[in-house]
């Protein structure tokens, strides 16, 4: 596995992400030890779900032969889209921030932000994997002309971020989980359909989706600017 990660230049990224995740775990355990309460241990569970989209996209990158099997790719990308909102979802755990006697608020703020940032890293790195896979497929399809437009794939990613933001709303406010598409498909479809059929009855749905989507796009384009700063400055 390590050799395969090296071959696709993935080892450093994997080590860093797991180091950051371990650091978050240590911080949460330190809080439990200092406060004698397990208040924020659930963040580790949320970070695990944020890890899944990165794991799925990594499988397609580390094992490129999988990309030759269309059904496998479609299934994995569909599963990736279901779990992708879990990566930025941890940002909404800031709702749990409040003053307590046992711990200073600044520690809890840094704790949640640490988990949220690592979750975002898992999300955006997996999104960049999807971009590479999509580009490879477009090169072999009739739609390869779209690649003439340099921003075509990034714009597609921006749309995915708004879809992910809608997923965040479903998870935070309606308490739906990614696996409910299998466990409770009809109830989930009803809730989603109701918000499209009667959009004006659900202003919070579209408010959260819009502004969370805008925020994620600001982060995405900022990271993209940093990543390709030489290209942009030329």
Q: Where in the sequence is the domain holding 202, given as residue range(s)?
A: 2-233
pLDDT number for residue 228: 73
Domain count, the chain: 1
- Sign of dihedral through CA atoms 17, 21, 22, 26? positive
Question: Residue with structure tokens 């690649």?
Answer: 147
Give the C-alpha separation, 136 to 61, whole Å.
Answer: 12
Indicate the pTM of the whole model.
0.91
Q: Residues in the chain with pLDDT < 50?
A: 234
Question: Residue with structure tokens 């659900």?
Answer: 202
- Sign of dihedral through CA atoms 18, 76, 65, 128? negative
Please write the tens of the pLDDT for every residue from 98-110. 888 788 999 999 9
Whether 67 and 60 have beta carbons less than 8 Å apart is answered as yes
Q: Count of CB atoms within 10 A of residue 72's CB? A: 15
Report which of 67, 61, 53, 197 is spatially closest to residue 127, judged by C-alpha positions.
53
pLDDT number for residue 232: 52
Query: How buried is residue 162: exposed, middle or buried, by Cβ count under 10 Å (0-12/13-18/19+)?
Result: middle
pLDDT number for residue 166: 97
């Amino acid at each position: 596995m390590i050799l395969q990660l090296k071959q696709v230049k993935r080892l450093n990224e994997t080590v860093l992400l797991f180091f950051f995740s371990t650091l978050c775990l240590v911080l949460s355990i330190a809080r439990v030890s200092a406060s004698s309460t397990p208040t924020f241990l659930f963040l580790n569970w949320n970070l695990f779900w944020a890890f899944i989209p990165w794991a799925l996209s990594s499988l397609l990158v580390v094992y490129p032969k999988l990309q030759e099997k269309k059904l496998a790719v479609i299934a994995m990308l569909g599963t990736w889209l279901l779990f992708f909102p879990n990566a930025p979802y941890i940002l909404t755990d800031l709702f749990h921030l409040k003053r307590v006697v046992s711990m200073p608020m600044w520690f809890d703020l840094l704790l949640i932000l640490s988990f949220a940032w690592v979750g975002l890293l898992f999300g955006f790195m997996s999104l960049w994997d999807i971009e590479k896979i999509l580009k490879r497929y477009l090169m072999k399809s009739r739609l390869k002309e779209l690649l003439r437009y340099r921003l075509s794939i990034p714009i597609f990613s921006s749309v995915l971020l708004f879809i992910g933001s809608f997923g965040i709303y479903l998870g935070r406010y309606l308490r739906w989980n990614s696996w409910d598409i299998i466990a409770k498909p009809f109830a989930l479809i009803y809730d989603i359909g109701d918000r499209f059929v009667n959009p004006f009855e659900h202003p919070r749905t579209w408010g959260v989706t819009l502004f969370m989507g805008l925020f994620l796009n600001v982060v995405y384009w900022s990271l993209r600017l940093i990543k390709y700063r030489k290209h942009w400055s030329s």
